[in-house]
């Protein structure tokens, strides 16, 4: 999606936590502050991964991300595996095969070396699942209190075959909206352990790779239009991003969205909508209407047993995103302005 870089706007304000949560405030920070400040050096396209040239047998893509999850260990993973999965999933939903990784560490003075080794071994195991190696890295140590234990940055490079075409511009009215599995598990798992909620072992992060599932869809579904992983801001943020880019209304059926019962119960207890809670091992897919059933079948047959068709793209109906409730009436799904669960990635 091309984004023009307007003149720098009012910069007398301050950075807030909402600016880091991947929804409207993040987009406004990029549009009004970051891109104008970079000027001609700013990226011309904003996507999960951006093209940097041609090589191998296709287009080279690069993506980078920083991880500050608290706590750095959580049910189902830790900051090491999360950093690898997060960056490589950004490549995967663009159709790219990963070929290289870099890692940067910011460590707080006093962080135990044994725990650092555990984080790095976790990152290495995650990378080995993709058969990709770390090609560069950096380590900085800051005084006690200057950061929270450990922060990690990963940059990933991948190759996207020349025949793969995925993008906002391919989305059309009538297209089906799918999710690859149950949602909201990562955000709720992190929140539960952070706050000490007594959910036992019922809440486990979905942090993991999506590359194989994406490749199955690409090989079987010629009508695959667009993919995005619903991290910060959850599925709601993805839906609003697509609606803004296309000018269409996205309508989903609330009772079709797959949510595990322990996650639903935890969300209800905390007053949260699962649509706003982050995933780290799922993606949202937009598929031509005549291939919706095929796409779900391909995903379920490849191990994504909870993949589901959840909605449809429509001509503009007065709101970017609508949700059909089980009792019939529709409600407007507001765009997340900030995450109710900060520091989940």
Share of the chain above pLDDT 70, in %: 86
Predicted pLDDT of residue 24:
75
Torsion sign (Cα): 142, 148, 150, 155: negative
Q: What is the pTM of this model?
A: 0.85
User: Of 27, 70, 66, 36, which is closest to residue 238 (Cα–Cα)?
Assistant: 27
CATH code, residues 47-161: 3.30.1330.10
Neighbours of 68 (CB within 10 A): 19
Q: So what's the pLDDT on residue 298?
A: 98
Residue ranges per domain, the chain? Answer: 1-46, 47-161, 168-332
pLDDT in tens, 16-64: 766 656 567 777 777 777 777 767 666 665 665 556 655 445 689 999 9
From the list 19, 21, 22, 27, the residue with the least C-alpha distance to 3 is: 27
- CATH hierarchy code of domain 168-332: 3.90.650.10
Is it true that 47-161 and 168-332 share their CATH fold? Answer: no
Angle at 249 between CA 230 and CA 5, to 5 degrees: 70
pLDDT tens-digit readout, 263-306 = 999 999 989 999 999 999 999 999 999 999 999 999 999 999 99
């Amino acid at each position: 999606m091309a984004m023009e870089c307007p003149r720098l706007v009012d910069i007398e304000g301050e950075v807030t936590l909402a600016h880091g949560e991947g929804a409207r405030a993040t987009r406004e920070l990029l549009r009004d502050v970051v891109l104008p400040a970079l000027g001609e050096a700013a990226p011309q396209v904003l996507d999960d991964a951006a093209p940097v040239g041609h090589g191998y047998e296709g287009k080279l893509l690069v993506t980078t991300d920083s991880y500050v999850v608290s706590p750095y260990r959580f049910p189902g993973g830790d900051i090491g595996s999360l950093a690898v999965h997060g960056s490589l999933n950004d490549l995967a939903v663009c159709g790219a095969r990963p070929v290289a990784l870099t890692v940067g560490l910011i460590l707080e003075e006093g962080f135990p070396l044994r725990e650092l080794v555990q984080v790095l071994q976790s990152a290495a195991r995650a990378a080995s699942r993709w058969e990709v190696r770390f090609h560069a890295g950096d380590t900085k140590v800051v005084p006690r209190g200057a950061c929270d234990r450990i922060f990690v940055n990963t940059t990933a490079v991948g190759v996207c075959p020349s025949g793969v075409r995925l993008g906002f511009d391919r989305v059309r009215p009538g297209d089906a909206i799918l999710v690859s599995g149950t949602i909201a598990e990562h955000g709720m798992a992190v929140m539960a352990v952070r706050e000490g909620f007594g959910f036992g072992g019922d809440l486990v992060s979905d942090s993991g790779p999506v590359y194989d599932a994406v490749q199955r869809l690409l090989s079987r579904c010629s009508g695959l239009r667009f993919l995005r992983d619903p991290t910060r801001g959850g599925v709601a943020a993805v839906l609003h991003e697509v609606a803004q880019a296309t000018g269409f209304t996205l309508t989903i059926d609330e009772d079709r969205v797959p949510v595990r019962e322990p996650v639903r119960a935890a969300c209800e207890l905390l007053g949260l909508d699962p649509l706003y809670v982050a995933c780290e091992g799922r993606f949202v897919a937009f598929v031509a209407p005549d291939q919706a059933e095929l796409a779900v079948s391909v995903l379920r047959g490849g191990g994504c047993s909870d993949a589901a068709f959840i909605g449809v793209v429509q001509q503009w109906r007065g709101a970017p995103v609508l949700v059909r409730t089980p009792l019939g009436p529709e409600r407007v799904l507001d765009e997340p302005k900030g995450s109710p669960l900060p520091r989940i990635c």
